[in-house]
Structures are given as structure tokens and as C-alpha cells.
A and B are shown apart, each in its own frame.
Chain A
Amino acid sequence: MSTKRMLTSTFAYIISFVAFVCFIFPFFLLIINSFKNNGDILTNPFSLPIHWNFVHFVDVVDKMNFLVTFKNTFMITTLSTIFIVFFSAMAAYHLVRKPTKYNKTFFTILVASMVIPFQSLMIPLIYIYGAKLQLIDTLPIPLLIIFYIGLGSALSIFIFHGFIKSIPVEIEEAARIDGCNTIQTFFIIVLPMLRPITVTIAILNVLWIWNDYLLPSLILNEENVYTMPVKMKVFSGTYMNNWELLIPAILMTVLPILIMYMIGQRYIIKGVMQGSVK
């Protein structure tokens, strides 16, 4: 290896390490300060805790109503994602294999709808489902799930559509000759082949729904149906500048998703990569 080459690679190591520190240090601060009292946080935010204090976590679990909030978020995220994945796969399959004029138009509308900002839908959504149909007060969680299915399907269908186009139709024709009807062909032959892209779509939707704030903040008005971001917002208003409670609360809000990332990081990165290539 020439000196010049070595210099370049040393330089690359230094830059990537500096970037690493920049990307990680807020998380690092969060972890070390979650064990401290207010006094220590204010004077020494960068030092390791002198006394490791777990008491604030216990406090936060109680004050955030953590178990209920977690359960709500988990339920809304999983149910919405399952429905989005399932319905989008079916729709995309039909749109690819039956390219009639109606279907092509429908696909174009779906793709075009992706540029609609949520801000131009939220007022009519509140108006129709809140003021007119009174569903926001009576059935907030099912309504939220329905909204996520509707708002999430365009992108998911778009990604499925690109993937299904690359599957050779001959496999399905063989199944057809063996006596499968369209429904059987889809569930027995096509659906298993969609597994890699299904993982991608599930990940993208989970990350979006789990972290979403604006929509749930408009729909969920009762404390017992709050999701984690909505709860975090309320919590931060109640305990403003009370960092010894806020920091453990933030940490506990992000922890579930960080644990998921540690377990499935290979799939997540691969998934995002596949989702981006049209």
C-alpha cells in the first residue's frame, strides 16, 4: 500500500469517527443523564453519573402511564401495518397483472396522491369524522387505524408494484394450468415470493406510525388512548425543564424502537435500501 493510499484511508477513518461521535452523542447524553438528579444534570451534563439512580425510571413509568401508552402505540402500529401490507400487496398485484384502463388511472391517482401534504387533509378529516360523524370522540383508535391504512397505502402499493413487475408471469401461468384460480395463485404462489419487499414495507410503516405525532394528536383526546409521542408532548408540558424526569421519559420512549433496531438492523438497512430503488 502506498503512503498516499494509507493517508487517504487514515483520513477516511478520522472523518467517519468524527461523524460517528456527532451522530451518537445526543443518545449518549440521554443515557448518562437519565440516572442523575437535577443538580448533577445542570452542573455536569457530560460526566458519568456519580450515583446510579434508577428511581426516576420507576417514577416515569408511573407518571407516563407507560404500560397503557405502550400498549396503545403497539396495537395501533401493528394492526395498521398488517392491514396496509396485506391490502397493498393484493391491490398492487391486481394493478400489475390486469393493466386495464381503469386500473392504470387508479394507479396514477395513487402515485399522484403522494405529493398531497397531510396538512391539506387534516382539516377536512377533522370536519368529516369529528364534527359530522362524531367518530373521533366515540371510536378514536379504530378511526386512527383506518386513517393509517388509507394514508399509507399509496407508497406501499407503489413499492409493491415495482417489485411485482419484476416477477415473471410464467410461474403463475403454470399454477393456473395446475388448476389454481386467481385467489389461490396469489396466496399460494405470489405472496411467498413477496417476502423480502414485504419486510421493507412493514419496516417503513412501523417507523412512520410509531413516531407519528400530528395525526394522533388531533384524533386522540383522552389520556387512556394516547400514543407515546402524544404522551411525551403532554409530559413535557407538565414537567417543563424538570430534566431528571424528562430525560428518563425520552429514553423510555425511544428505547422500544432502539431495541428493535439492534435486533433487526441488518433487515432495516437492507429494507430501506430496497424501498428506495423504485
Chain B
Amino acid sequence: MKHRKKALANWGNAVLFLGPTTIFFAITVLVPFIYGIYLTLNKMDTPSDPLVFSGILNYVNAIKDADFWSSLWLTLKFVVATVFFVNLVGFGLAYLVTSGIRIQNSMRTAYFTPNLIGGLVLGYIWQFVFVQSLPAMGEKLGIEWLKLGWLGDPHMAFWALVIVTIWQTSGYMMIIFIAGLISIPRDLIEAATIDGAGPFRRLVNVTLPLMVPSFVVTIFLSLKNAFMVYDLNFSLTKGGPFNSTLMVSMHVVNKAFIESNYGTGQAEAIILFIIVAVVTGIQVYSSKKMEVEA
């Protein structure tokens, strides 16, 4: 009798503590995800159409969709460029504001500010910079490359997206790096100094190996952000000029909601999921192996 009462109480607690999360998680992530895989096996142009089983037809269409692969290829280039620069700039800033200069706290605050604003609005802000301000500045100072409208040129528009992404997210990575940098024991740095290591040797041989856990987090976040970029892409370039900056997220959105091809759009979204899962999985696994003990 007592046992049964206790079991009942345990069961009640589990329902109370886990129940709400389980329900919300199930109805917004778990069920849609599994149902989404099922949807790819059906022909569906708009959501009001009845589902008709079509096997792997959607995947065949996705594989034949040249625009999908070019948007994916572009996204990969974007991923490589932003992951590299965001981490480089973020680490540089963190190194700078932990080096002991007096104004470091206000600098920290300033560098983080772009993170508070969403990609969509940032895109509009930078549109003003690229379309109005820089050309006006180039005109006044006679600098040729500023005069060109960056967003009108396919090559420059891509780099405009990269620059704004660096500007937006490096401050966030900086904070993560700061947390890592201040946890490095001072005596390790001092020992290296006594052994005759200069600032550069200290950075490469002592600081960086101890920062691997921070890099695991920042690279994971910047990878995921870059693969999923949509808001900024949408507001800054709208994929243009001539679809030259149309990334994969935007392609999926357009495919489903504008071209009314839900089935193929969903198949492409699942392919995107597989790529993101594999890439981030490899990244976390391989960089975890690089971690060292202080």
C-alpha cells in the first residue's frame, strides 16, 4: 500500500515537472519534424491539397533542382567565410578587451550592441549604409570603390552580407571568448613568460590550446547561424542582384510559399537538416578531441 502510494507520487511529480515541456516540445518540434519527413513522401503543392503518396519523387525533384544546389553552394561559401572571420574578429576583440586597457568595459558594451538587433532590421540599417552613405562618402572623398553601390554587384553583395554578419555576431562570440580567457590560470601564462616565451608564443602555445572549449561553442553557433541565415539575407539583398546572393533558407521559403511547391521545399529542408546535423556533429566531435587539461 505504501509502495503504491509512493509510486503514484513519483508518477505525479514526473507529470507535473516534465509534462508541460513534453507537450510543448512534442507539438512544435517532435511531431512536426517526424510528420515533415512523412510529408516529403507525398505530392503536395499547397497545404490545402490532399496528400498523394509519391515515394521519393520530391527528393528526385530536389536533386534535379539546379537552383537548390547553387543556393546550397553559395551558403557553404558563406559558412566558410563567416565562421572564419566571425571567430577571428571575436577572438581578437576578446583578446583586446582582456589585455588590461582602461576603457575595456565600455568597449565590450559597444562591441556587443549589434547583437541586440535582429537580422531583419540590421539589413535595413546596412542598406542605408551601402546604398546611401558609402557612395555619398566616396563621392566626396573621390574614393572609387566606395562610390559603387555594393548591393548592385553580385560579388560585392555577397561580401556585404559577410561583413554585416561579422559586425552582427562577432560581439557575441567575443563574450564567449572572454569567459574562456579569464578562466585561464594566470600562473600558466607567468610560467611561460619565465621560460622565455614572447607574447606570440604564449598566445599560440598556451592560450589557444586552452581555449578549445570556447571554440567548440563559438564555431558550433557560427556554423548553425550561417547555415540558417534568412532574415539578413532577406532584408539586405533579397537574394539579389539576379539571385546571386540567394541562400538555401530563402530558397526553401520561396520554393514552398512563393512557388507553391511544399513537397519539394520540405524535401530540400530535410536535406538541409541532414547537412547541418552531419557538419555540426563532425565539428563538435572532432574539436572535443582537441581539448586539453590545464
Binding site for B on A (CB under 8 A): 9, 12-13, 15-16, 19-20, 22-24, 26-27, 29-30, 33, 41-46, 83, 87-88, 90-91, 93-95, 98, 103, 106, 109-110, 113, 115-128, 130-131, 146-147, 149-151, 153-154, 157, 181-183, 186, 207, 210-214, 218, 229, 232-233, 236, 243, 246-247, 250, 253-254, 257-258, 260-261, 265, 268-269, 272-274, 276-278
Q: Which residues of B are found within 8 Å of A130, using beta-carbon distances? A: 47
Mark interface residues in B165-178 (1 if CB within 8 Å of A CB, else 0): 00100011001101
* CA gap between A25 and B62 in the complex, in Å: 43
Q: A115-B281, A211-B116 are in contact. List 15 more A-B contacts (CB 8 A).
A: A45-B132, A115-B276, A117-B272, A119-B249, A123-B266, A125-B28, A150-B28, A153-B24, A182-B13, A183-B16, A210-B118, A211-B117, A233-B235, A243-B128, A273-B179
Q: How large is the interface on B (under 10, 10 to 19, 20 to 34, 35 or more residues)?
A: 35 or more
* Contact A26 to B125, CB < 8 A, known contacts A45-B132, A269-B112: yes
Q: Does B132 lie within 8 Å of A117, measured CB to CB?
A: no
The residue that B120 contacts in the complex, of A42, A43, A183, A232, with Cβ under 8 A, is A232
Closest Cβ of chain A to B281, distance in Å, is 7
Q: List 21 A-B contacts (CB under 8 A).
A: A19-B93, A20-B111, A22-B167, A23-B111, A23-B113, A26-B128, A27-B125, A42-B132, A44-B136, A87-B20, A98-B14, A110-B25, A117-B273, A124-B33, A151-B28, A211-B118, A246-B128, A273-B179, A276-B175, A276-B179, A276-B214
Q: Does B18 lie within 8 Å of A91, measured CB to CB?
A: yes
Closest Cβ of chain A to B238, distance in Å, is 11
- Interface positions, chain B 264-288, Cβ under 8 Å from A, are 265-266, 269-270, 272-273, 276-277, 280-281
Q: Does B273 lie within 8 Å of A150, measured CB to CB?
A: no
Q: Does B137 lie within 8 Å of A46, measured CB to CB?
A: yes
* Contact A13 to B124, CB < 8 A, known contacts A117-B273, A146-B28: no
Chain A residue nearest to B171 (CB atoms) is A23
The residue that B111 contacts in the complex, of A9, A19, A236, with Cβ under 8 A, is A19
Q: Does A123 lie within 8 Å of B119, measured CB to CB?
A: no
Secondary structure of the B contact surface, majority rule: helix
Q: Does A157 lie within 8 Å of B118, measured CB to CB?
A: no
Binding site for A on B (CB under 8 A): 9, 13-14, 16-18, 20-22, 24-33, 35-36, 39, 44, 47-48, 93, 96-97, 99-101, 103-104, 107-121, 124-126, 128-129, 132-133, 136-137, 167, 171-172, 175-176, 178-179, 214, 217, 224, 227-228, 230-231, 234-235, 249, 252-253, 256-257, 262, 265-266, 269-270, 272-273, 276-277, 280-281
The residue that A150 contacts in the complex, of B13, B14, B25, B124, with Cβ under 8 A, is B25
Chain B residue nearest to A118 (CB atoms) is B228
Greatest chain B CB density within 10 A among A43, A243, A247, A250 is at A250
A-B interface, 5 closest residue pairs, ranked by CB to CB distance from nearest: A211-B118, A150-B28, A131-B47, A94-B17, A124-B36
Q: Which residues of B are found within 8 Å of A233, using beta-carbon distances? A: 120, 235
Greatest chain B CB density within 10 A among A93, A95, A115, A120 is at A120
The residue that B29 contacts in the complex, of A154, A210, A236, with Cβ under 8 A, is A154
Q: Does A236 lie within 8 Å of B103, measured CB to CB?
A: no
Q: Which residues of A are found within 8 Å of B107, using beta-carbon distances? A: 16, 19-20
Q: Does B132 lie within 8 Å of A243, measured CB to CB?
A: yes
Q: Does A119 lie within 8 Å of B167, measured CB to CB?
A: no
Q: Which residues of A are found within 8 Å of B39, using beta-carbon distances? A: 123-124, 127
* CA gap between A207 and B265 in the complex, in Å: 29
Q: Does B119 lie within 8 Å of A211, measured CB to CB?
A: yes
Chain B residue nearest to A87 (CB atoms) is B20
Q: Does A30 lie within 8 Å of B33, measured CB to CB?
A: no
Q: Which residues of B are found within 8 Å of A98, using beta-carbon distances? A: 14
Q: Which residues of A are found within 8 Å of B104, using beta-carbon distances? A: 16
Q: Does B113 lie within 8 Å of A261, measured CB to CB?
A: yes
Q: Does B116 lie within 8 Å of A121, measured CB to CB?
A: no
* Contact A261 to B116, CB < 8 A, known contacts A30-B125, A253-B121, A269-B175: yes
* Contact A120 to B25, CB < 8 A, known contacts A183-B16, A213-B118: no
* CA gap between A147 and B262 in the complex, in Å: 20
Q: Which residues of A are found within 8 Å of B281, using beta-carbon distances? A: 115
